[in-house]
């Protein structure tokens, strides 16, 4: 348990001393370009707006922060919000670690905190919050509800500060929609949240035609509040990120690239509202010559690794010309670059064949020379009934025989069909230089026919598993420290350990699917007709028909009266029956044969 | 209550009695009707024209982009590989393949597997597959399509297909430069024929967690999500005459008809002569579209399907619900003008590009069109709804005969006068029939089948024979021969009580009918062929002792139906065609060892690949044969005893 606590231990945020009560806001735009070892290029945009709004009432008058963002703070008790819209998969083994990690599809997580806040309130607010951002980003976040949301206990830690001395209840919610397809319709509203829109500054580089031609692109949005005391003297931090991986080979070049090649146009200056507009270029062992050369270089030492970055300050440039940077391959191509393997990476896949039983296997590999603490979170949808008694953790060392281990802490909330997903969190230590396979069995089930999505034979998606750990060294690590907000703050930001979040692939599961084709409909219809016909035919076939002569008139007085009464009643209720019919009925009533069994 | 208790159907009704009298004729009628139906299927009136059911597959029909530079690359790679082959006589040049894949820009991995041969003291075979994954830019590795090429070493006994790997790599190089991929492309080069493919698939889908002690396939370092389809290339040369599309998979499974149609369309568009069971141009022109040709086509398909052995690496994919087929490009043997020597290679690459683009566009798994079909021609097929009736017609005599036998048996027992109540009739019935002993007899037969299935593979038996120095083939043969001998002798050991044979007859008929229909549903070809050869016995077998000739005929036919005898005769027949120069005696001896080999291969197939032909024959059809043998023989001995009693 101690181990668990150490993982979830909150890093105290050193909220920058809030001296002036006067409200102020600043906006920074940053672009980080990192050519990767296998010829790919990673570009990372970060637009940070930091607003020292002071008290809650000031949220009504926004300047640089988009109004809907400020309003969510007024409406809900949300203190921190992360949204990721991603197309493609970040491949840790070849790309290294990203600045901001997101799972394929859409992913949302939020922290709520407030006095007298209960879990039911949060559930309600969570759905509303998701719907709000569904509208803001034109994404299907409105499909987030209780059936696909979980409440992680160990995986995430808050990055906001309420500033309160008292113990204010905090809640976290997480949901992912792996089927979500990210497209232009998400990029445009995302760009509109920026102070300069997409007309000026770095955002003008994000043209949908080029963004969606990448191997990976991920739009991120992060919002958090940092308060000195509860709801007093607060800062709202709103960060928008765009992370992309380009393949210059697909752009039709021999490996050279430039800003114009990547984004379709050069940079048309900076956003006039920005405090700083800088491009950072990774210069480590690059086989490229840069034109123009960086204005100045920065060396960052972090966790035992050194990185050199070239900096272009766009605000110092001429406004009139389009600015372009070109990376041109050096003539000497003697040394082939080898990708340094990151210390930790993970994969996930489904095993087994047939439509009866399967196995979900998560494979985490530790290439580090020391053991690492791991928190694994699995969020399994309700339509995948999993058996936790089959949960196995098998360690496969690089040299030596495999053995099983037991998780230190296990947090498991079994799913309920159509109500709640299966949520599993495991805390364990992954031994040095080894692979851990976490596997459990599940059943394939039939769904109700309305629960199949359109294109039912495409399969059902299972969201990524999230693995969090603390790395002792900073190799491959570029994330921004939790107490800072700019990308530039990650330079020389050595800490005792580095909090790392990685995600596995999302999976496609082919559940048994009925044949939703025309013959299927015909079969359904035919079966219905047969079912309807069966009743009467069965009854006719099994009942004996006995003809019984009815007496012309009932004998007793009581009988006569009853007969008259009954007839009259019938006439009254059925207004449409005309008298002639009624007459006919009385006339022919005598000879009606009773059908008796 | 069911039909059996309906008083109007007891033999007291004249109808039933008449039917029972003519049961043989009725059965014969159904048998002929079934065969006639099958012959009719070859007529165009009974088959349908193929069409693309899945519209998502059409994009491959756009203008191909692959050009002459890819052909040149294939050519250079082919020449390089030929040089590599001089250094690697019996192995695969893994390093060369991996280096080329890496150079193209694929994520390259190597997969190792080990086969521990279960017989001959656990010999070990090691193998290595090389595969490269082209990560699709438009997807998060949730789906993939596999392109495979088997590699055959120089000293392989099979046809040389060295050109497959260069073609695969040339296509990979082309695909690497395209950004429209929405499914990961896996380029896989396997070795050791189907074993390599099987090991790779097993590793992909079982991940080494459920490793069998025989085939250790370990785990794969990288995957590409749920595999949607696979294309296997067997290319003999860059100069191609025609393409043979191979579709039959493990246990007679077939790929979706849409996949076959797609390939057929694309090859014809790119001007390649291709088709199912395709033969060189000259022969084909002579007789086309004739009824006889269609029928031959259908029978050929059933023949290759019935064994359950896949006729290419594609066949192993079907078990995992991955649609796949093989393009076997056959080398041009006739000399043509040299100017357009590699024109066909370009056409083939265009076809592969078209197939890959169509598969890439698939939104859903193959689910439209047909999974069960028989190809009549390249563009005509018979669907399951049309061909199942002939199997049902072949199997129905058994049910009809069983029912009529039941009627006569009960009436024979029940000599009671007509006015007796139906209720007492029903009550008295079980008293007379020896259910227990008949059931025990059937269980004994099934037990023998069970031993046939398990003994050859049991550890102790293997060890024993191994220590004795007997070869695998002979040990398996000896075990099976012992079982067969026991089966033959079983009716002599144990004589069924009175009316037991009739009851056994009913049981056997129902058992056979059900077994045939189930087999037919799983593998139509096997079910159909078995029905064709088993049905005559059921027709010949008489419920009453009639005359000696028919009895002898039944005996002989039943004996010939013994699985071992059938295999021997088949092999002998093949030997007769393969080596006509041999003397009859040599041939007979040779056929014995060849049939033992065949049995051992069947057993291996069932152990390693999961082919259930051996299991089905040993565990179901062999016990059935014992029962038929009992009926064919037992009737005689019973008659003899009756005669003796009378005397």
CB-based contact A353 B320, cutoff 8 Å: yes
Helix B524-540 / helix B23-40 crossing angle, nearest 10 deg:
150
A597, A481: one domain: no
Nearest Cα to Cα of residue B179 among A210, A201, A63, A531: A210
Are residues B162 and B78 in contact, defined by beta-carbon separation less than 8 angstroms?
Answer: yes
Query: What would the mean pLDDT of B112-132 be, rounded to a whole number?
Result: 84
Residue A536 half-sphere exposure, CB side, CA atoms within 13 Å? 4
**Are residues B248 and B353 located together in one domain of the fold?**
yes
The verdict on residue A516 lying in a domain is no
Both B471 and B443 in one domain: the answer is yes
Q: How many domains does chain A have?
A: 2
Asked, for residue A580, whether it belongs to a domain, the answer is yes
Helices B435-454 and B500-522 pack at an angle, to 10 degrees, of 40
pLDDT in tens, A148-162: 999 999 999 888 888
Q: Using CA coordinates, name the residue in chain A closest to B178.
A: A250
Whole-number pLDDT of residue A496: 85
Distance from CA of B179 to the nearest CA of A (A): 6
pLDDT score, position B235? 93
Q: Higher confidence at residue B16 or residue A110?
A: A110
In a domain, B5, yes or no: no
pLDDT at residue B405 greater than cutoff 60: yes
Distance (Å, whole) CA B379 – CA B538: 38
Query: Do residues B35 and B129 both lie within one domain?
Result: no
**Pair B191, B284 in one domain:** yes
Overall number of domains in chain B: 2
Q: What is the pLDDT of residues B355-365, one digit of tens each?
A: 999 999 998 99
Is B302 in the same domain as B392?
no
Give chain B's contact residues with A (Cβ, < 8 Å).
Answer: 105, 107, 135, 137-143, 176-179, 205-207, 209, 222-223, 225-226, 319-321, 363-365, 367-368
For residues B294 and B410, state if they share a domain: no
| pLDDT score for A4 | 39
Please answer yes or no on whether A250 and B179 come within 8 Å at the CB atom: yes
pLDDT band at B428 (very low <50, low <70, confident <90, very high): very low
Mutate to test the interface with A, among B137, B144, B181 (most CBs of A within 10 A): B137
Q: Mind telling me how many Å the CA of B222 is from chain A's nearest CA?
A: 8
Q: What sign does the dihedral A380-A386-A391-A396 (CA atoms) show?
A: negative
Binary contact (A455, B207; C-beta < 8 A): no
Residue A425: is its pLDDT beyond 50?
yes
CB contact under 8 A, B141 and A461: no
Same domain, A125 and A238: yes
Q: To the nearest 10°, the Cα dihedral for A89, A95, A101, A105?
A: -10
Cβ burial of B245 (10 Å; 0-12, 13-18, 19+) is buried
Do A586 and A488 belong together in one domain? Answer: no
Residue A260 to residue B443: CA distance in whole angstroms: 80
Strand B373-377: give its sheet, edge to edge. Answer: B48-49, B380-383, B373-377
User: Which residues in A have their CB inside 8 Å of a CB on B?
Assistant: 38-39, 86-89, 91, 94, 104-105, 213-216, 247, 249-250, 252, 347, 349-353, 359, 361, 437, 439, 455-459, 461, 505-510, 513, 515, 517
Compute the average pLDDT of residues A451-477.
89
Q: Is residue A359 domain-resident? A: no
Of A388, A377, A464, A380, the residue nearest A422 (C-alpha)? A380
Q: pLDDT of B188-229, one tens digit each?
A: 999 888 999 999 999 999 876 666 778 888 889 899 989 999
Residue A494 shares a structural domain with residue A561: no
In this structure, the strands spanning A372-380 and A422-430 are antiparallel
Query: Which residue in the set B177, B205, B364 is minimally distant from A458, CB to CB?
Result: B364
Q: What ipTM, to 2 d.p.? A: 0.85
Number of DSSP helices (H) and strands (E) in chain A, helices first: 10, 26
* A559 and A499 in a common domain: no
Q: What is the pLDDT of residues A504-528, one digit of tens each?
A: 999 999 999 888 877 778 888 899 9
- B149 and B33 both lie in a single domain: no
Q: Give the closest-approach CA distance of B35 to chain A in angstroms.
A: 29
Average pLDDT taken over every residue of chain A: 85
Per CB-CB distance under 8 Å, the chain A contacts of B363 are 455, 458
- Please judge whether A456 and B207 are an interchain contact, meaning their C-beta atoms are less than 8 angstroms apart: no
pLDDT of residue B3: 43
Residues A581 and A490 in one domain: no
Contact A114, A188 (CB under 8 A): no
Half-sphere exposure of B81 (CA within 13 A, CB side): 30
Residue of A nearest to B181 (CA): A215
Q: Where are the alpha helices (DSSP H) in B130-188?
A: 164-176
Rounded to the nearest 5°, which phi and psi values hold at B642?
-65, -45
Q: Which residues of B touch A517 (CB under 8 A)?
A: 368
**Which of B1, B142, B318 should be substituted to probe chain A, the one whose Cβ sees the most A Cβ atoms within 10 Å?**
B142
pLDDT value at position A13?
41
**A594 and A492 in a common domain:** no
Q: Which of A252, A347, A505 comes nearest B142 by C-beta?
A: A505
**Backbone torsions φ then ψ of A310, nearest 5 degrees:** -95, 140
The pLDDT of residue A588 is above 50: no
Kindly state whether residue B175 falls inside one of the protein's structural domains. Answer: yes
pLDDT of residue B637: 46
* Mutation target vs B (from A38, A39, A89; most B CBs, 10 A cutoff): A89
Closest residue in chain B to residue A507, using alpha carbons only? B142
Q: Which of B141, B207, B365 sits opposite A361 (nearest CB)?
A: B207
Q: Which domain holds residue B513?
A: 11-41+386-414+423-646
- Beta strands B143-150 and B184-190: pairing type? parallel
Examine residue B173 and state whether it is found in any structural domain, yes or no: yes
| Window from A31-35, A373-377, B10-14 with minimum mean pLDDT | B10-14
User: Which residues touch B142 (CB under 8 Å, ≥6 apart)?
Assistant: A104, A461, A505, A506, A507, A508, B225, B226
CB contact under 8 A, A347 and B206: no
Residues B392 and B533 placed together within one structural domain of the fold: yes
Domain limits at A163? 2-342+477-503
B469 and B511 inside one domain: yes
pLDDT value at B645 more than 60: no
pLDDT band at B77 (very low <50, low <70, confident <90, very high): very high
B225 Cα to chain A: minimum distance (Å): 7
Q: What pLDDT, in 10s, does the model give residues A202-234? A: 999 998 888 888 999 999 999 999 988 887 889
Q: Nearest C-alpha of chain A: how many angstroms from B273?
A: 33
Cβ-based contacts of B182 with chain A (< 8 Å): none
| Chain A partners within 8 Å of B138 (Cβ) | 87-88
Chain-chain contact of A89 with B143 (C-beta, under 8 angstroms): no
Q: What is the mean pLDDT of residues A397-402?
A: 88
Nearest CA in chain A to B322: A353
Give a yes or no: residue A210 inside a domain. yes
Which pLDDT score is estimated for B112? 92
In a domain, B4, yes or no: no
CATH number for the domain spanning B317: value is 3.40.630.10
Chain A CB contacts of B135 under 8 Å are 89, 91, 215
Q: What are phi and psi of B172, to 5 degrees?
A: -60, -40
**Where on the phi/psi map is residue B281: left (φ > 0), alpha (ψ -120 to 50), or beta?**
alpha
Q: How many Å apart are CA B404 and CA B570, to the nearest integer?
A: 35
Both B545 and B628 in one domain: the answer is yes
CA distance A11 to chain B (A): 33
If asked whether residues B160 and B237 sit together in one domain, one would say yes
- The pLDDT of B135-153, averaged and rounded, is 92
B24: Cβ–Cβ under 8 A, 6 or more apart, which residues?
Answer: B539, B542
For the question of whether the overall pTM of this predicted structure is more than 0.95, the answer is no
Identify the band that residue A568 occupies on the pLDDT scale cut at 50, 70 and 90: low
Q: Contacts of residue A249 in chain B, CB cutoff 8 Å?
A: 105, 176-177
- Does A104 contact B176 at a Cβ distance shorter than 8 Å? no
Which residues of chain B are within 8 Å of residue A218 when distances are taken between CB atoms? none
Q: CA A16 to CA A177: how far, in whole Å?
A: 35
Establish if B395 belongs to a structural domain.
yes
Q: State the count of interchain CB pairs (< 8 A) between A and B.
A: 88
Q: Residue B490 — pLDDT band, cuts 50, 70, 90? A: confident
Residue-wise pLDDT for B10-43, tens only, equals: 445 567 777 777 888 888 999 999 999 999 999 8
Residues B299 and B173 in one domain: yes
Taking alpha carbons only, the member of A359, A354, A363 closest to residue A385 is A359
Nearest CA in chain B to A437: B209
């Amino acid at each position: 348990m101690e181990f668990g606590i150490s993982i979830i231990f909150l890093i105290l945020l050193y909220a920058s001393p809030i001296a002036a009560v006067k409200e102020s806001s600043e906006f920074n735009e940053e672009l980080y370009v990192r050519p990767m070892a296998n010829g790919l290029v990673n570009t990372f945009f970060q637009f940070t707006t930091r607003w020292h709004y002071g008290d809650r009432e000031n949220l009504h008058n926004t300047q640089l922060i988009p109004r809907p963002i400020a309003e969510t703070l007024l409406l809900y008790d949300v203190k921190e919000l992360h949204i990721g819209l991603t197309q493609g998969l970040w491949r840790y083994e070849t790309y290294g670690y990203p600045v901001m990690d997101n799972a394929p599809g859409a992913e949302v997580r939020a922290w709520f905190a407030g006095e007298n806040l209960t879990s039911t309130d949060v559930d309600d607010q969570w759905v509303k919050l998701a719907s709000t951002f569904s509208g803001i980003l034109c994404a299907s976040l409105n499909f987030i509800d209780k059936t696909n949301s979980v409440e992680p206990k160990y995986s995430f830690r808050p990055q906001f500060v309420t500033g309160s001395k008292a113990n204010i209840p905090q809640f976290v919610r997480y949901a992912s929609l792996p089927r979500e397809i990210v497209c232009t319709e998400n990029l445009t509203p995302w760009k509109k949240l920026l102070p300069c829109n997409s007309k000026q500054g770095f955002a003008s580089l994000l043209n949908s035609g080029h963004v969606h031609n990448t191997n990976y692109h991920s739009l991120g949005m992060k919002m958090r509040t940092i308060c000195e005391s509860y709801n007093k003297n607060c800062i709202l931090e709103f960060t928008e990120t765009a992370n992309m991986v380009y393949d210059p080979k697909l752009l039709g070049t021999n490996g050279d690239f430039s800003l114009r090649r990547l984004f379709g146009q050069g940079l048309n200056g900076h956003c006039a509202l920005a405090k700083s507009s800088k491009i950072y270029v990774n210069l480590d062992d690059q086989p490229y010559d840069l034109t123009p050369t960086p204005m100045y270089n920065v060396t960052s030492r972090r966790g035992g690794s050194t990185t050199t970055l070239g900096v272009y300050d766009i605000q110092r440039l001429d406004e009139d010309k389009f600015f372009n940077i070109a990376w041109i391959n050096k003539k000497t191509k003697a040394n082939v670059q080898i990708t340094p393997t990151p210390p930790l990476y993970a994969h996930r896949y489904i095993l087994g064949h047939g439509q009866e039983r399967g196995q979900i296997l998560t494979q985490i590999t530790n290439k580090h020379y020391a053991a690492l603490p791991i928190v694994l979170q699995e969020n399994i949808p309700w339509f995948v009934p999993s058996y936790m008694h089959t949960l196995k953790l098998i360690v496969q060392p690089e040299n030596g025989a495999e053995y099983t281990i037991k998780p230190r802490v296990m947090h498991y909330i079994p799913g309920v069909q159509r109500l709640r997903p299966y949520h599993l969190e495991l805390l364990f230590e992954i031994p040095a230089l080894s692979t851990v396979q976490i596997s459990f069995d599940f059943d394939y089930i039939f769904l109700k026919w309305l629960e199949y999505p359109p294109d039912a034979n495409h399969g059902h998606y299972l969201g990524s598993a999230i693995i969090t750990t603390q790395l002792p060294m900073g190799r491959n690590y570029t994330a921004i420290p939790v107490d800072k907000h700019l990308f530039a703050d990650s330079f020389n930001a050595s800490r005792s350990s580095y909090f790392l979040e990685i995600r596995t692939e999302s999976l496609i599961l082919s559940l048994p699917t009925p044949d939703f084709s025309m013959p299927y409909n015909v079969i359904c219809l035919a079966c219905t007709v047969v079912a309807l016909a069966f009743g009467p035919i069965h009854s006719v076939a099994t009942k004996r028909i006995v003809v019984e002569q009815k007496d012309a008139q009932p004998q007793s007085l009581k009988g006569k009266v009853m007969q008259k009464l009954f007839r009259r009643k019938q006439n009254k209720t059925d207004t449409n029956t005309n008298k002639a019919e009624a007459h006919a009925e009385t006339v022919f009533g005598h000879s009606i044969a009773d059908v008796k069994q | 209550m069911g039909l059996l208790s309906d008083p109007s159907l007891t033999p007291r009704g004249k109808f039933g009695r008449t039917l029972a009298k003519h049961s043989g004729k009725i059965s014969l009628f159904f048998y002929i009707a079934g065969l006639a139906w099958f012959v009719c299927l070859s007529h165009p009136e009974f088959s349908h024209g193929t069409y693309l059911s899945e519209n998502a597959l059409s994009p491959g029909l756009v203008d191909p982009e692959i050009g002459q530079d890819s052909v040149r690359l294939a050519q250079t790679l082919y020449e390089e590989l030929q040089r590599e082959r001089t250094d690697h006589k019996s192995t695969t040049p893994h390093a060369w393949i991996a280096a080329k894949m890496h150079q193209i820009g694929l994520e390259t991995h190597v997969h190792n597997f080990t086969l521990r041969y279960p017989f001959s003291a656990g010999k070990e075979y090691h193998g290595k597959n090389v595969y490269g994954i082209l990560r699709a830019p438009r997807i998060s590795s949730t789906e993939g399509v596999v392109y495979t090429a088997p590699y055959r070493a120089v000293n392989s006994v099979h046809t040389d297909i060295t050109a497959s790997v260069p073609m695969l790599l040339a296509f990979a190089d082309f695909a690497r430069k395209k950004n429209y991929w929405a499914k990961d492309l896996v380029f896989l080069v396997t070795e050791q024929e189907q074993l390599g493919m099987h090991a790779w698939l097993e590793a992909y889908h079982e991940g080494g967690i459920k490793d069998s002690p025989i085939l250790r396939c370990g785990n794969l370092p990288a995957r590409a999500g749920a595999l949607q389809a696979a294309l296997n290339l067997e290319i003999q040369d860059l100069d191609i005459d025609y393409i043979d599309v191979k579709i039959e998979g493990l246990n007679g499974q077939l790929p979706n008809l849409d996949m076959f149609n797609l390939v057929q369309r694309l090859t014809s568009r790119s001007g390649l002569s291709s088709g199912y069971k395709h033969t060189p141009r000259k022969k084909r022109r002579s007789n086309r579209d004739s009824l006889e040709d269609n029928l031959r086509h259908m029978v050929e398909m059933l023949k290759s399907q019935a064994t359950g052995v896949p006729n290419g690496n594609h066949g192993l994919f079907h078990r995992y619900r991955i649609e796949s087929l093989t393009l076997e490009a056959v080398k041009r043997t006739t000399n043509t003008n040299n100017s357009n020597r590699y024109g066909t290679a370009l056409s083939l690459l265009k076809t592969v590009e078209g197939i890959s683009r169509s598969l890439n566009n698939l939104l859903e798994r193959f689910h439209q069109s047909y999974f069960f079909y028989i190809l009549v021609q390249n563009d005509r097929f018979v669907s399951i709804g049309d061909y199942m009736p002939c199997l049902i017609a072949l199997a129905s005599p058994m049910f009809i005969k069983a029912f009529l036998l039941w009627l006569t048996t009960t009436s024979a027992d029940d000599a009671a006068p007509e006015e007796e109540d139906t209720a007492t009739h029903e009550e008295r019935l079980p008293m007379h029939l020896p259910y227990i002993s008949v059931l025990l007899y059937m269980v004994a037969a099934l037990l023998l089948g069970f031993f046939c299935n398990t003994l050859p593979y049991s550890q102790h038996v293997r060890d024993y024979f191994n220590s004795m120095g007997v070869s695998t083939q002979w040990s398996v043969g000896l075990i099976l021969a012992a079982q067969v001998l026991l089966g033959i002798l079983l009716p002599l050991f144990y004589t069924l009580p009175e009316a037991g044979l009739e009851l056994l007859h009913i049981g056997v008929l129902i058992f056979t009918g059900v077994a045939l229909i189930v087999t037919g549903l799983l593998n139509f070809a096997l079910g159909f062929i078995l029905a064709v050869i088993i049905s005559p016995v059921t027709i010949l077998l008489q419920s009453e002792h009639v005359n000696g000739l028919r009895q002898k005929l039944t005996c002989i036919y039943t004996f010939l139906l013994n699985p071992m005898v059938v295999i021997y005769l088949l092999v002998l027949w093949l030997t007769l065609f393969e080596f006509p120069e041999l003397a009859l005696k040599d041939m007979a001896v040779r056929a014995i060892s060849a049939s033992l080999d065949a049995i051992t291969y069947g057993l291996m197939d069932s152990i390693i690949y999961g082919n259930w032909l051996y299991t089905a024959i040993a565990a179901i059809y062999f016990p059935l044969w014992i029962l038929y043998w009992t009926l064919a023989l037992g009737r005689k001995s019973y008659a003899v005893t009756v005669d003796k009693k009378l005397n």
